[in-house]
Amino acid sequence: MDSLSINSLLEELKNPDVIVREQATRKLWRIWFQQKGIYGLERIDHSQKLLDAGEITEAEATLTELIKDQPDFAEAWNRRAFLYYSIANYRKSLLDCQKAVQLNSIHFGALHGMGLCYAALGDYGKAIQAFQRALEIQPYSLVNQKLILECTFRIS
């Protein structure tokens, strides 16, 4: 997908119509998951099935192998960040979120993940910054708005 189409989807994330925003969100996720074609999509899907089955080590190995094969695959980094977050390894999750954002600066999911990691680590100021960056892309995201308020409350 070309950058013009992606820019159009990013504009749709700012549309007051919830249906337009939801469709744009789904399309962006699809683009990110399909960045490396069938191979990348199948590896991510396999890792998710392993994670769902509680096979954390195998899921991590699958994602790590995918990252080694495709180091510019932002969604692979994001999925491994999710895995690390789900087992409360917030520092590793944060590093993978940062890498995903480095590769894809508009990855609102990885920005949200960064905010969650910072909050879990007690760095509420950085959490707020990450959630605000995600809100710049998805201004109607109620979850990020709520998390900003929660982090602000914890600081005060």
For the chain, the straight-line distance linking the first and the last C-alpha, in angstroms and rounded, comes to: 44
∠ CA 131-90-94, rounded to 5°: 55
Cα gap 7→102, rounded to integer Å: 18
Cα gap 55→70, rounded to integer Å: 22
Alpha-carbon dihedral sign for residues 86, 118, 102, 64:
negative
109-140, pLDDT tens digit by residue?
A: 999 999 999 999 999 999 999 999 999 999 99
CATH number of domain containing 102? 1.25.40.10
The token pair at 37 is 């074609």
Contact 26, 18 (CB under 8 A): no
Asked if the model's pLDDT at residue 1 lies above 70, the reply is no
Count how many domains the chain has.
1
97-110, pLDDT tens digit by residue?
A: 999 999 999 999 99
Give the domain extent around 105: 3-155
- Residue 3: pLDDT band (50, 70, 90) is confident
